[in-house]
Chain A
Amino acid sequence: MSRLKVTIDGNNAAAYIAHKTNEVIAIYPITPSSDMGELADQFSAEGKKNIWNTVPTVIEMQSEGGAAGALHGALQLGSLGTTFTASQGLLLMIPNMYKIAGELSPTVFHIAARSLAAQALSIFGDHSDVMSTRSTGWGLISSNNPQEVMDLALITQAATLESRIPFLHFFDGFRTSHEVRKIEQVSDDDIRAMINEELIFEHRRRALSPDNPVIRGTAQNPDVFFQGRETVNSFYLRTPKIVQSAMDRFAKLTGRQYKLFDYVGSPEAERVIVLMGSGADTAEETVDYMRGNNEDVGILKVRMYRPFSVEHLINAIPKNVKSIAVLDRTKEPGSIGEPLYQDIVTAFTESLDSDNAKFKSLPTIIGGRYGLSSKEFTPAMVKAVFDELKKSRPKNHFTVGIIDDVTKTNLEFDTEFDIEPEETIRAMFFGLGADGTVGANKNSIKIIGEETDNYAQGYFVYDSKKSGSRTTSHLRFGKKPIKSTYLISKANFIACHQEVFLEKMDMLKYAIKGATFLVNTQYPEDKVWDKLPKRVQEQIVEKKIKLFVIDGYKVAHETGMGGRVNTIMQTCFFAISGVLPKDEAIAKIKDAIKKTYGSKGDEVVQMNFNAVDKTVENLHEVEIPGKVTSTIEMPPVVPENAPDYVKNVTAEIIAGRGDWLPVSKMPIDGTFPTATTQWEKRNIATEVPVWDPEVCIQCGKCVNVCPHATIRQKVYDPKLLEGAPETFKATDYRGREFPGMKYTLQVAVEDCTGCELCVEVCPAKNKKETRLKAINMHPQHPLREKERKNWDFFLNIPEIDRRKLKVDTIKGSQFLEPLFEFSGACAACGETPYVKLVSQLYGDRMLVANATGCSSIYGGNLPTTPWAKNKDGRGPAWSNSLFEDNAEFGLGMRLSIDKNTEFARELVDTLQTEIGDELANAILNAEQKDEAEIYEQRQRVEDLKKKLDTIDKPQAKQLLNVANYLIKKSVWIMGGDGWAYDIGYGGLDHVLASGKNVNILVLDTEVYSNTGGQMSKATPRAAVAKFAASGKPLPKKDLALIAMIYRDVYVAKIAMGSNDVHTVKAIIEAEKYDGPSLIIAYSHCIAHGINMAKGMENQKAAVDCGHWPLFRYNPDNRKEGKKALSLDSKPPKIPFEKYAYMENRFKMLTKSHPDTAKKLIKLAQQDTDYRYHLIEKMADILDGKINGQNGNQ
Chain B
Amino acid sequence: MDLTTTYLGLKLINPIVPSASPLSNEIENLKKMEAEGAAAVVLESLFEEQIKHESKELDHYLQFGAESFAEAVTYFPQASEYRIGPEEYLEHIRMAKEAIDIPVIASLNGVTVGGWIDYSRKMEQAGADALELNIYYIPTNPRLSGVEVENLYIDILKAVKSAVKIPVAMKLSPFFSSLAHFTRRLDENGVDGLVLFNRFYQPDINLDELEVAPNVILSTPHAMRLPLRWIAILYDKINADFAATSGIHNAQDVIKMLMAGANVTMMCSALLRNGISHITTVLHGMKLWMEEHEYDSINLMQGSMSQKNVADPSSFERANYQKALQSYRPNV
A residues sitting closer than 8 Å to B (CB atoms) are: 31-32, 34-35, 38, 41-42, 45-46, 123, 174, 178, 432-434, 436-439, 442, 460, 462, 464-466, 469, 471, 560, 562, 564, 597, 599-604, 606-607, 765, 770, 826, 857, 1009-1013, 1024-1029, 1086-1087, 1089-1090, 1144-1145, 1147-1148, 1151-1152, 1154
**Does B54 reach chain A (CB closer than 8 Å)?**
yes
**Hey, what's the 0/1 contact readout for B148-160 against A, CB within 8 Å counting as 1?**
0000000000000
Which residues of the partner chain B approach A436 to less than 8 Å between Cβ atoms? 63, 67
Does B77 have its Cβ within 8 Å of any Cβ on chain A? Answer: yes
Please tell me the size bucket of the interface on B.
35 or more
Asked whether B88 lies within 8 Å of A1012 as measured between CB atoms, the reply is no
Tell me whether A41 and B70 are in contact in the complex, defined as CB-CB below 8 angstroms, given that A601-B55, A604-B55 are known contacts. Answer: no
- In the complex, which of the residues A46, A466, A601 contacts B82, with contact meaning CB atoms closer than 8 Å? A601
Q: Which of A45, A469, A1151 has the most CB of B within 10 A?
A: A1151
Task: Tell me if B64 and A1086 are in contact (CB < 8 A).
Answer: yes
Q: A765-B210, A1013-B75 are in contact. List 7 more A-B contacts (CB 8 A).
A: A42-B77, A601-B84, A604-B55, A1012-B74, A1012-B75, A1151-B79, A1152-B79
A1029, B68: Cβ atoms under 8 Å? no
Which of A602, A770, A1025 is B77 in contact with, Cβ under 8 Å?
A1025
B80 within 8 A of A: yes
Tell whether, in the assembled complex, residue B71 and residue A603 are in contact, meaning their CB atoms are under 8 Å apart. Answer: no
Residues of B within 8 A of A464 (CB): 69-70
Query: Would you give 16 A-B contacts (Cβ < 8 Å), ordered by A?
Result: A31-B71, A436-B63, A436-B67, A438-B73, A601-B56, A603-B51, A606-B115, A826-B65, A1013-B77, A1024-B77, A1025-B77, A1086-B65, A1089-B76, A1145-B76, A1148-B76, A1154-B88
Tell me which residues across on chain A come within 8 A of B65, comparing CB atoms: 433-434, 826, 1086-1087
- Which A-chain residue is minimally distant from B209 (CB atoms)? A765
> Of the candidates A38, A123, A606, A1024, which one forms a contact with B70 in the assembled complex, judged by CB atoms under 8 Å apart?
A123
Question: What does the 1/0 interface line of B173-202 toward A look like (CB < 8 Å)?
Answer: 000000000000000000000000000000
Residue in B55, B68, B82, B115 whose beta carbon sits within 8 Å of that of A471 in the complex: B68
Given contacts A604-B55, A1026-B77, A1151-B84, contact A1011 B72 (CB under 8 A): yes
Q: A38-B77, A42-B77, A42-B78 are in contact. Are A604 and B71 (CB under 8 A)?
A: no
* B10 proximal to A (CB < 8 A): no
- Interchain CB contact under 8 A, A1144 and B66: no
User: Do A1154 and B68 touch across chains, with their CB atoms under 8 A apart?
Assistant: no
Contacts of A35 in B (CB 8 A): 73
Q: Which residues from chain B contact A42 at a C-beta distance below 8 Å?
A: 77-78
**Is B210's CB under 8 angstroms from A599's CB?**
no
Is A46 a contact of B80 with CB atoms below 8 Å? yes
Known: A1089-B75, A1144-B62. A599 touches B82 (CB 8 A): yes
Asked whether A1013 lies within 8 Å of B82 as measured between CB atoms, the reply is no
Complex formed: what's the CA distance from A471 to B88 in Å? 39
B247 touches A (CB below 8 Å): no
Q: Return the chain A residue nearest B68 by Cβ.
A: A433
CB atoms of B56 and A604 under 8 A apart:
yes
Question: Interface residues, chain B, CB within 8 Å of chain A?
Answer: 51-52, 54-85, 88, 115, 210-211
Which one of A1024, A1090, A1152 has the greatest number of beta carbons of chain B within 10 Å?
A: A1152
- Distance in angstroms between the alpha carbons of A466 and B70 in the assembled complex: 9
Residue in contact with B61 in the complex, picked from A32, A601, A1089, CB distance below 8 Å: A1089
Q: Give chain B residues whose Cβ lies under 8 Å from the Cβ of A1086.
A: 64-65, 75
Are A174 and B70 closer than 8 Å at their CB atoms?
yes
Do the beta carbons of B58 and A433 come within 8 Å of each other?
no
Give the CA-CA distance A442 to B56 in the complex, in Å: 21
* A466 and B76 in contact, given A600-B62, A601-B85, A602-B115 (Cβ under 8 angstroms): no
- Chain B residues with Cβ below 8 Å from A1154 are 83, 88
Interface centre among A42, A432, A436, A601 (most CB of B within 10 A): A601
B77 contacts which chain A residues (CB < 8 A)?
38, 41-42, 45, 1013, 1024-1029
Complex alpha-carbon distance, A910 and B218, angstroms:
82
> Interface centre among B64, B72, B74, B80, by most A CB within 10 Å?
B72
Known: A439-B63, A1029-B77. A466 touches B56 (CB 8 A): no
Do the beta carbons of A471 and B67 come within 8 Å of each other? yes
- The reply to whether B51 and A601 form a contact with Cβ atoms under 8 Å apart is yes
**How far apart sit A1028 and B70, CA to CA, in the bound complex (Å)?**
22
Q: Is the CB of A599 within 8 A of B51?
A: no
The CB with the most chain A CB atoms within 10 A, among B60, B76, B82, B115, is that of: B76
Chain B residue at minimal CB-CB distance from A853: B71
List residues of chain B with CB within 8 A of the CB of A437: 67
Q: Which chain A positions have C-beta within 8 A of B61?
A: 1089-1090, 1144, 1148
**Closest Cβ–Cβ distance, residue A376 to chain B (whole Å):** 16
Residue of A with least CB distance to B60: A562
- B52 contacts A603, C-beta separation under 8 Å: yes
Bound-state CA distance A996–B79 (Å) is 46
Find the residue from A438, A602, A1011 having the highest chain B CB count within 10 A: A602
B51 touches A1011 (CB 8 A): no
Considering the chains assembled together, what is the distance between the CA atoms of A607 and B76 in angstroms?
22
Name the A residues within 8 Å of B88 (CB-CB): 1154
With A439-B67, A604-B55 already in contact, the answer to whether A1010 and B72 are too (CB < 8 A) is yes
The answer on a CB contact under 8 Å between B54 and A433 is no
Q: Which residues of B lie under 8 Å from residue A460 when comparing CB positions?
A: 67
Question: Complex Cα distance A123/B73, Å?
Answer: 13
Chain A residues whose CB sits within 8 angstroms of the CB of B54 once the complex forms: 601, 1151
- Minimum distance in angstroms from A1094 CB to a CB of chain B: 13
Contacts of B72 in A (CB 8 A): 1009-1013, 1087
CB-based contact B79/A1029 at 8 Å: yes
A466 to B72 Cα, complex, angstroms: 9
A930 CB, min distance to chain B CBs, angstroms: 36
Is A469 within 8 A of B82, CB to CB? no
In the complex, the answer to whether A600 meets B55 with C-beta atoms within 8 Å is yes
Q: Interface centre among A439, A604, A1010, A1024, by most B CB within 10 Å?
A: A604
Q: State the CA gap A123–B52 with chains docked (Å).
A: 40
Among B51, B61, B69, B84, chain A packs the most CB atoms within 10 A around the CB of B69
Report how far A647 CA is from B207 CA in the complex, Å. Answer: 54
Q: Are A1013 and B74 in contact (CB-based, < 8 A)?
A: yes
CB-defined contacts of B75 to chain A, threshold 8 Å:
1012-1013, 1086-1087, 1089
Residue of A nearest to B91 (CB): A1154
Contact B83 A1151 (CB under 8 A): yes
Q: In the complex the two chains form, what is the Cα distance from A1127 to B125 in whole Å? A: 54
Nearest residue (CB) in A for B55 is A601
Chain B residues with Cβ under 8 A from A600's Cβ?
55, 58-59, 62, 82, 84
CB pair A602 B55 closer than 8 Å:
yes
Across-interface contacts of B58 in A (CB, < 8 A): 600-601, 1144, 1147-1148, 1151
Residue of A nearest to B57 (CB): A1144
Given the complex, which residues of A lie within 8 Å of B76, measured CB to CB? 1013, 1024-1026, 1087, 1089, 1144-1145, 1148
Cα–Cα distance between A31 and B71 once the two chains are bound (Å): 6
Expressed in whole angstroms, the Cα–Cα distance for A575 and B68 within the complex equals 26
Taking CB atoms, residues of chain A closer than 8 Å to B59 are 597, 600-601, 604
How distant is B70 from chain A, measured CB to nearest CB, in Å? Answer: 4
CA distance A433 to B73 in the complex (A): 10
Give the complex CA separation of A1086 and B75 in angstroms: 8
Contacts A1144-B61, A1152-B81 hold; do A603 and B56 have CB atoms under 8 A apart? Answer: yes
Query: Which residues of chain A are within 8 angstroms of B66 by Cβ–Cβ distance?
Result: 439
Q: Are A466 and B69 within 8 A (Cβ)?
A: yes
Cβ of A433 and Cβ of B67 under 8 Å apart? yes
Write out the residue numbers on chain B whose beta carbons fall within 8 Å of the beta carbon of A178. 70, 73
A599: B residues at CB distance < 8 A:
79-82, 84
Residues in chain B near residue A606, CB distance under 8 A = 115
Complex Cα distance, B80 from A42, in Å, reads 9
Q: Min CB distance, A435 to chain B, in Å?
A: 9
B80 (CB) vs chain A CBs: closest residue? A46
Rounded to whole angstroms, the CA-CA distance of A1090 and B64 in the bound complex is: 9
**Most chain A beta-carbon neighbours within 10 Å: one of B64, B75, B82, B88:** B75
Which 10 pairs between the two chains have the least Cβ-Cβ distance?
A: A433-B68, A601-B55, A1012-B72, A1144-B61, A601-B84, A1089-B61, A438-B67, A603-B55, A1029-B77, A1152-B79
